[in-house]
Amino acid sequence: MTSFISPLAPAEAWRPQLHYSARGNWINDPNGLFYKDGVYHLYYQMNPDDSVWGNMHWGHAVSTDLLRWQELPIALDAEPEGLGYAFSGGAVIDWNNSSGLGDGVNPPIIATYTQHSKDAVQVQSIAYSTDGGKRFVPYAGNPVIANPGLKDFRDPKVVWHEPSQRWVMALVAGDRAHFYTSTNLREWTFASEFGAEHGAHGGVWECPELFSLTCAETGESRWILTISLNPGGPNGGSAMQYFVGQFDGQVFQVEHQDTRWLDFGTDFYAGITWDGLQTMGDERVMIAWMSNWQYANKTPTDSWRGAMSLPRRMALRKVDGHYRVASEPHANLLAARHAGFDWLQDRPLGVGELLSTKELPPVAEIVLQLRWSAAAPVLEWQLINAQGEQLSLVLDAAEASLSLDRRQSGWDQEGFGRAMHAELYATAPGMAELRLFVDRSSIEVFANGGLTCVTSCCFPQSPYSTLQLHLRAGALDAVSAQIYHLE
Burial of 381 (C-beta count, 10 Å sphere; 0-12/13-18/19+): buried
| H helix or E strand, kind and range, residue 10 | helix 10-13
| H helix or E strand, kind and range, residue 12 | helix 10-13
Separation of alpha carbons 296 and 294, rounded Å: 6
> Helix or strand or coil: residue 368?
strand
Cis link prior to 143 (omega < 30° from 0)? yes
> Are 287 and 227 in contact, with CB atoms under 8 Å apart?
no
Greatest Cα pair distance in the chain = 70
Burial of 312 (C-beta count, 10 Å sphere; 0-12/13-18/19+): buried
Separation of alpha carbons 42 and 308, rounded Å: 10
> Helix or strand or coil: residue 332?
helix
Determine the residue type at 189: T
Write phi, then psi, for 245 (nearest 5 degrees): -170, -155
Please give the torsion angle defined by the CA atoms of residues 132, 135, 139 and 143, in that order, rounded to the nearest 10 degrees: 110
> Are 90 and 76 in contact, with CB atoms under 8 Å apart?
no
**Region of residue 295 (left: phi > 0; alpha: psi -120 to 50; beta: else):** alpha
State the distance between the two ends of the chain, measured CA to CA, in whole angstroms.
Answer: 29
> Are 4 and 29 in contact, with CB atoms under 8 Å apart?
no
Concerning whether 248 is annotated as a catalytic residue, the answer is no
Strand ordering across the sheet containing 378-384: 354-357, 466-473, 378-384, 390-396, 401-405, 419-423
Determine the residue type at 82: G
Determine the residue type at 312: R
**Region of residue 380 (left: phi > 0; alpha: psi -120 to 50; beta: else):** beta
What percent of the chain is helix, strand and coil (3-state, nearest 5)? 5, 50, 45
Q: How far is CA 100 from CA 91, 131, 145, in A?
A: 16, 15, 18
Active site residues: 29
